Structure formats: C-alpha cells, structure tokens
Amino acid sequence: MTPQEMDQEKLLTWMKEYLKRSKDRLEAQRNAFYDLVIAGQDEAAERQLKDMVVDQAVHSMLYAEVLDAEEYTMMQEAVAKMAKDAPEA
C-alpha cells in the first residue's frame, strides 16, 4: 500500500502523536547525553549521541511531512474560498 492509498488523515494523526512522544524522548536523550559527558563516560556518550542522531533524523523527516500536509490543506482551503467568493464569469 502506498502512502497515497492510505487514509491521509489517519496517517497525519499518527505522525502528530509520534512527534509529541518523539519530542519528549529526544529531550530525555539530550539530558542523558549531557550527563554522560559530565560524568566522563565518553563511550556511553558516543553511543547515546548516535542513537539521538537517528531519532532526530526520523523526527525531522516526519515533522517536514506534517508541515507539508498542513500547508497543502491550507492551500486547498484558500483555493476553495477564492472559488466560492469569486463572481461567476
């Protein structure tokens, strides 16, 4: 099943919920990374950093998808409003 065949609203809702959880998880990962650096645990800090980079990349990708979908929806609404408000030719 391609993304175009899926229920777009359901997919967008899932992405938004994931982003909420991801934001909290990334904050916890950053705090853990700083704690490891302060504690001098370099190897653990590097592992934490690698995990954090992957999670941040996924978060950023989904965030961009959500922004694109919301922008597309706003454009559709604007076009529909202009069509409704336009005088008949």
Residue ranges of domains in the chain: 9-84
Question: Helix 8-38 crosses helix 42-85 at what angle (to 10 degrees)?
Answer: 150
Per-residue pLDDT at 3: 60
Whole-model pTM: value is: 0.73
Per-residue pLDDT at 61: 96
Which of 7, 13, 29, 5 shows the shortest CA–CA distance to 62?
Answer: 13
Q: Which residues contact 8 (CB under 8 A, 6 or more apart)?
A: 69
Residue type, 88: E
Residue 89 has pLDDT above 70, yes or no: no
pLDDT tens digits, residue range 8-66?
888 899 999 999 999 999 999 999 999 999 999 999 999 999 999 999 999 999 999 99
Which residue has tokens 């959880």? 21
